[in-house]
Structure 1
Amino acid sequence: MFEGLVTALLNKFLGPYIKNLDSSQLKLSIFSGNVSLEDLEVKPDALADKNLPIRVHAGFLHELRLKIPWRSLYTEPTIVVIDGVYLIVGPTTGFKYDAETAKKEAREKKQKELEQIEEKKRIEREGKPEEKSDGFVEKMVTQIIKNLQVTVKNVHIRYEDEVTCPGSPFAIGVTLQEVFAKTVDINWKEAVIKDAVQQIRKLVGIRNLAAYVETNAQCLAGLPLAEWKDGLTDRIRRNSKSPPDGIL
């Protein structure tokens, strides 16, 4: 029962943005307590419903790991690790129209709408989950949240613009080496909370959050996957090195 809830949440938050997400395989992985999704491609229309004047030119999620210790929720944390989020966006005015891509995106949008309608009908037939809950699911959710550890690392979001200043492209980027959040005790030491508490302490840390601007930039979006991904990776500021070409 709870595995289905987690699967539904992952589908809800990843489905609109990730290509070819295998729901059946995802459910089996969640049942085992270990989910590992690798080399996921971001949909070109991932930002279409945000009403933003930008479009995804290239996007990639290297790895998402989820560990849920079903048999020891009260003694072990639930761990989420997202490693390698690379995204290149640009203005919609500079996007070249592709009829086949447009048709495919329209079909996917229609399919998503149909799935949402079917899900709504299913909930109406079966009743809302909270109406059926006997408190067991709520207790498990609370326990997971109390001891949830989240780590996101190697993030690079880059905006490339060849339209605003023709002949002089520029890029603006945000990079992040790592951000984490974990449960701690009163002394700010990592801990696992077993009992009911009124307060939950979370320690949050950030390493090397940076932003940059490139003038006369080399646009990476049109390069092969391996090349543009390497280009974004090299521009992430780390403790051991600075990005190339004097980018700060």
Structure 2
Amino acid sequence: MFNAWLANILNSYLGEVVEELDSQNLGVGALQGDILLIDLKLRSDCLSLLELPIEVIAGTIGKISFKIPWSNLSSNPVLVHVQDVNLVAVPISHRGYNEEKDSRLDATRKRRFLQKVESISVIKRAAKSQNSKEEKLKRELWETMIATFMNNVQVFIDRVHIRYEDNISIPGRFISCGICLESLAAETTNSKWKSCEINGNSKSIFKLVRFEKFCCYWNPSESSGVIAAKSGSSWRVKMREIMEKHFSSQPQDQAVLSPLSGKVKIMMNRSIADGAPRLLFDYQLKEIKVCLSKDQYHTMMQIQAALKFLQLSRIYRKYRPRQSIFSKPRHWWNYAYRCIKQQFIEPYYWSNIKKHREKYRVLFGLWLKRHQVGKSSSLKAKIKEAETDLDVTSIMLAREQAKYQV
């Protein structure tokens, strides 16, 4: 039962990135504070926060381990180790329209956009009401909880490689680019930036973030990519080889940012004195070497234009013919007609207007009930289902109307 509860907690944080976890993944040491997750598969929509028409075709996290001192969380640190993150993304045009995959990508994109809008509105409401004593006390309590959490958690990340491959956007060329990171460590220190034991009553928190060999590359003329070696674990071996090549001391022609190391000193002030800065950052970076060739720049601009066009046309993907224009011109004329009909004609049929208003009223009633009765799992599921067939604008209007109706 404890493992099931812990799996739900981890899903709430990792569920946006990795496939569903269950209690069997946690092992027998969870009750003692030792949690080990091995070979986690990344979701195909885990990069939707970038709001780009791309998807992940291969992605894994080799190992995530947690060391949680259940008996003494206030003074002992929570250790998080992440190793071997490999991810390969491609444009969604690499495959034909798939109703299940494309619907999942669109739903994730819509949900994250709504979450972003909701977080902005929460911040604005907090800014308006921060002068009241009650709201000020709540804000200080919340900041104290965040500070305590940041003080306790120490994160260590080893070997990260995120890669994008594209052999479609520019005909006749295979483009690849990526970012690599050898290691990152975020630890709690004292005022002299030395490792120390956690003091739960300290008014200031000092975090030292060190990273080694962070680099970026862009290859405008790749011969073959990781996609070709996707079978089994061979693609991960190739990802590791590419990463090691860019970590080497020899300069690489494709490197945009040569391996960079440095550290960031973060000070969080927990004092409630007005006017005192809450966060202070001090960056200390070693030599930065950036190099961009003419060919790299031109291919970057071409990829940007192609992704922009793909983003605009993604809502019509299900109508797009797979044949060329010259072989099937009739299909492409039909495609153009169906796109115009869907966008400018069908929404204004009386039957469609009526259905839309009925769906809107259902969603408005559910949000009104949520404000009056409170949150519940069943109500949350009904709201999620009602928002599936409505656009972002209608969802936001229903939420705001229910909020002011209360």
- Which residue of the partner structure matches residue 82 of structure 2? 82
Q: Which residue of 2 aligns with 1:57?
A: 57
Which structure 2 segments of 5+ residues have no match?
A: 112-142, 256-406
| Correspondence 1:46 to 2:46 | yes
Match of 1:125 in 2: none
| Matched residue count | 218
Q: Please name the residue that 2:233 is paired with.
A: 226
Alignment partners' CA distance in 1, 2:145 and 2:209: 23
Task: Name 2:196's counterpart in structure 1.
Answer: 191
Q: Pick closer, same or farther for the CA change 1:5–1:153 going to 2, 3 Å.
A: same
Deviation for aligned residue 1:69: 1.2
Q: CA RMSD in A?
A: 3.6
Relative to structure 1, the CA distance from residue 65 to residue 238 in structure 2 (aligned partners, 3 Å threshold; closer, same or farther) is farther
The gaps in structure 1 that reach 5 residues or longer are 114-137
| 1:182 corresponds to | 187
> How far did residue 95 of structure 1 move?
2.4
SS of residue in 2 equivalent to 1:19: coil
Identity %: 28
Give how far 1:18 is off: 1.8
Residue 142 (structure 1) shift: 5.8
Note the alpha carbon deviations across 1:75-119, whole angstroms, 9 max, x for none: 5321001101111001111224457x649x86xx79xx9xxxxxx
CA contact (8 A) 2:4 2:23 kept: no
2:35 maps to 35
- 2:247 and 2:164 map into 1 onto residues whose CA distance is 25
Report the Cα distance in structure 1 between the residues aligned to 2:213 and 2:254, rounded to whole angstroms: 14
| TM norm structure 1 | 0.73
Cα deviation, 1:47-73, whole Å, max 9, x if unaligned, reads 457642111111111000110012233
Q: Please, which moves more after superposition, 190-199 or 18-27?
A: 18-27
Structure 1 pair 29–213 and aligned structure 2 pair: CA distance change class (3 A): same
Q: Deviations over 1:108-142 (max 9, x none)?
A: x79xx9xxxxxxxxxxxxxxxxxxxxxxxx99986
Q: What's the counterpart of residue 363 of structure 2?
A: none
Q: In the aligned structure 2, how far is the partner of 1:6 from the partner of 1:98?
A: 34
Q: Which residue of 2 aligns with 1:148?
A: 153
Distance (whole Å) between structure 2 residues aligned to residue 230 and residue 166 of structure 1: 28
Match of 1:117 in 2: none
For 2:57 and 2:246, locate their aligned partners in 1 and report how far apart those are by CA, in whole Å: 29
Quote the Cα distance in structure 2 between the aligned partners of 1:184 and 1:159.
37
SS in 2 for 1:236: helix
Q: What is the DSSP-based 3-state SS (H/G/I as helix, E as strand, rest coil) of the residue aligned with 1:221? A: helix
* Equivalence for 2:171: 166
* Greater C-alpha Rg: 2
Cα 1:239–1:46 change in 2 (3 A) is: closer
Q: Aligned ranges for residues 104-115 of structure 1 at < 5 Å?
A: none
Greater fraction strand? 1
Alpha-carbon shift at residue 146 of structure 1 (Å): 1.4
Deviation readout 1:20-70 (Å, 9 max, x if unpaired)? 411465496543311100011112233457642111111111000110012
Change (3 A) 1:29 1:17: farther
1:68 aligns with 2:68: yes
Higher relative contact order, structure no. (Cα contacts within 8 Å, ≥ 6 residues apart) = 1
Could you tell me how far apart the structure 2 residues matched to 1:238 and 1:161 are? Answer: 21
